[in-house]
Amino acid sequence: MKNFDNFDEIFEGNLAAALHNEKNSTESSSTAESEVKGGKEKRFKASDKRLINCHTVDVNQLMPLKYKWAWEHYLNGCANNWLPTEVPMAKDIELWKSNTLTEGERLVIMRNLGFFATAESLVGNNIVLAIFKHVTNAECRQYLLRQAFEEAVHTHAFHYIVESLQLDEGEVFNMYNEINSIHNKDKFEMKLTEDVLRSDFSTESLEGIQKFLENLVGFYVIMEGIFFYSGFAMI
């Protein structure tokens, strides 16, 4: 049976505690409400966004879009999604095993496979390691992540070809170290990545922006537009 001799003391103590908790709850609610209001006041406009060197907009907040072309590229990339294993290789295998191709044609195919097998990886690494962190716009970052995935798919594609044709994977995937022409191309591109990966690199200076632009031109005009397409043309 409960003892109510000290009921008044218990009641007064509980009442004081309840009032104290109510006060803290009210203060917390006011603070939370103030923080919410403060957040609304700080909502940014699309025009506040910048591709690089943006210090006013949270890079994790996608909307509102400023660069709608970047979002469209992301959506188009998703719509065009594919995997190498979806491509039938039966006719290619038959051709490779036949005597139809000359030794020169086989050499061209092997050298191009050797170049592409690692070059696609270089492009993907450049996006993820060098470019991504300096892009301060959410929709552009979204597209870059999609593009990095595409480069991974391309690397997978060349592995799939090597595997399907039963080629020597050690020979193909080491050509960038063993064939001078391939090695020199890759060395040229890797230097561009290294320049942006330096610990003191920043796009805040004119020199930094120029280096950043040099990287983009080196990879997406020279590598993708010249090295890659010349290989496609030969094949």
Instruction: Check if the beta carbon of residue 136 is closer than 8 Å to that of residue 51.
Output: yes
Nearest to 197 by CA among 183, 173, 220, 215: 215
CA gap 29, 36 in Å, rounded: 10
70: which residues sit within 8 A by CB, 6+ positions away? 137, 139, 140, 142, 143
Task: Report d(CA 2, CA 192) in Å as an integer.
Answer: 81
The catalytic position among 67, 74, 160, 176 is 160
C-alpha distances out from residue 80 to 8, 46, 102, 106, Å: 75, 28, 35, 31
Element (H, E) at 95: helix 90-97
Q: Supply 181's token pair.
A: 């022409």
- Residue 85 phi/psi, 5° resolution? -70, -10
Residue 220 among the catalytic residues: no
CA–CA distance, 202 with 215 (Å, rounded to integer):
13
* Catalytic positions, written as ranges: 160
